[in-house]
């Protein structure tokens, strides 16, 4: 029996809902990706932990992918040969005050950053700290893993702690802010892909509603103006180069690549750091366009662009620019 068939039987026996052959195209902002052998969307943290237990005890060798809102992932056209656990239903949020009086939001890994930002505006007093994140289309889990950032801030500035489980040993760990090893679009989770983030606590500060809402509206307006939000994408494809004052969008534009297409994948006319899906792009189109841009920039400027997007290979392993 195929590993995923054994797993499917065990999930059924445990009453955990899953789909077979669900299209990953529908679970990512690139709108690219073939079917996952199994796609599971746990509704509670307990169900997520149970699903990982079942995966471990039945078939720890079957490829496993933890998916948030899929806004930083490129899945292959022939899909994923294993189990994808999508966390986006794990959205419980609670507000508490730490001993020193700091307001904190604790949320499940699937909570959308946009929803958490709205919650900050709705509190009385409003909470400041997440203004930078209101337009980032990811989950809390994906954002901590990626140390997502924008508008001169990043997750490193607000994460108090996160709780994760080891997918291979089931051990629960609590990481303090310092233990996340945050740096530009990096966290310790990228060094430990076996850790599945379950929930995280954000440390915020009291503010007033108008100030917080105005900052969020300004950030959203800037995205609408500068980013090609009208097309599916995974945001900025490349990491910011290490050289100071060097911007990916400018390098790509100066290579004359704005609007350059391979198949249905296009270097955005609006922001050359984005690759957009013009309707029928395949993962192969995107990968070839990424390689083309990297080659052109290397040839013209001697700068090696690294991929920020998590690229999933056909065997289920992932690649990310180091």
* Rounded Cα distance, 150 and 154, in Å: 6
Of the residues 88, 185, 239, 287, only one is catalytic, namely 185
> Could you confirm whether 123 is annotated as catalytic?
no
Q: Which is nearer to ligand FAD, 196 or 212 (CB)?
A: 196
Is the four-CA dihedral 223, 226, 228, 233 of positive or negative sign?
negative
Q: In this complex, which beta carbon is closest to ligand FAD, that of residue 206 or of residue 241?
A: 241
Q: Please say which residue, 18 or 189, places its beta carbon nearer to ligand FAD.
A: 189
Residue 308: CB minimum distance to ligand FAD, A: 7
In terms of CB distance, is 102 or 176 closer to ligand FAD?
Answer: 176
Binding-site ranges for ligand FAD (CB under 6 A): 29, 65-73, 87, 109, 136-139, 141-143, 145-146, 148-150, 189, 196-197, 227, 229, 233-235, 310
CB of 9 to ligand FAD, least distance (A): 25
Spatial CB neighbours of 231, under 8 Å, sequence gap ≥ 6 = 268, 276, 277, 278
CB of 236 to ligand FAD, least distance (A): 7
Output the smallest distance, CB 42 to ligand FAD, in A: 11
Residue 185 annotated in active site: yes
Which residue is it, tokens 């801030």?
A: 153
| Exposed / middle / buried, residue 206 (Cβ in 10 Å: 0-12, 13-18, 19+) | middle
Cβ proximity of 239 and 198 under 8 Å: no
Residue 223 Cβ vs ligand FAD, minimum distance, rounded to whole Å: 7
**Nearest CB to ligand FAD, comparing residues 208 and 217:** 217
Residue nearer to ligand FAD on the CB measure, 209 or 269: 269
Q: How far is the CB of 278 from ligand FAD (least distance, A)?
A: 15
Minimum CB separation of residue 99 from ligand FAD in Å reads 27
- In whole angstroms, what is the distance from residue 148 CA to residue 136 CA? 8
Sign of CA pseudo-dihedral 223, 265, 147, 297: negative
Name the catalytic one among 187, 236, 239, 268.
Answer: 236
Nearer to ligand FAD, 173 or 298 (CB): 173
Catalytic status, residue 236 = yes
| Catalytic (active-site) positions | 185, 236, 308
């Amino acid at each position: 029996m195929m590993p995923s068939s054994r797993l499917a039987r065990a999930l059924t026996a445990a009453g955990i809902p899953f789909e077979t052959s669900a299209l990953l195209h529908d679970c990512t902002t690139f709108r690219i990706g073939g079917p996952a052998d199994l796609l599971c969307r746990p509704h509670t943290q307990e169900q997520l932990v149970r699903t990982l237990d079942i995966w471990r005890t039945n078939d720890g060798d079957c490829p496993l992918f933890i998916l948030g809102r899929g806004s930083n992932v490129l899945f292959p056209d022939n899909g994923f040969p294993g189990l994808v656990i999508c966390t986006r239903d794990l959205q419980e949020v609670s507000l508490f005050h730490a001993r020193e009086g700091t307001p904190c939001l604790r949320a499940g890994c699937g909570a959308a950053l946009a929803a958490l930002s709205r919650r900050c505006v709705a509190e009385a007093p409003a909470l400041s700290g997440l203004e930078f994140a209101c337009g980032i289309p990811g989950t809390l889990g994906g954002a901590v893993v990626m140390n997502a950032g924008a508008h001169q801030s990043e997750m490193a500035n607000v994460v108090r702690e996160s709780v994760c489980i080891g997918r291979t040993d089931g051990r629960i760990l609590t990481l303090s802010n310092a233990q996340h090893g945050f740096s530009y679009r990096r966290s310790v989770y990228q060094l430990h892909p076996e850790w599945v983030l379950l929930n995280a606590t954000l440390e915020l500060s009291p503010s007033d509603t108008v100030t917080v809402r105005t900052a969020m509206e300004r950030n959203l307006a800037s995205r609408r103006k500068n980013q090609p939000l009208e097309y599916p994408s995974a945001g900025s494809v490349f990491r910011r180069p290490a050289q100071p004052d060097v911007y990916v969008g400018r390098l790509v534009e100066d290579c004359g690549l704005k609007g350059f297409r391979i198949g249905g994948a296009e270097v955005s006319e609006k922001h050359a750091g984005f690759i957009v899906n013009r309707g029928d792009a395949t993962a192969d189109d995107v990968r070839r366009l990424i390689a083309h841009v990297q080659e052109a920039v290397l040839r013209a400027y001697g700068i090696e662009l690294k991929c920020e997007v998590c690229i999933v290979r056909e065997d289920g392993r992932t690649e990310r620019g180091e």
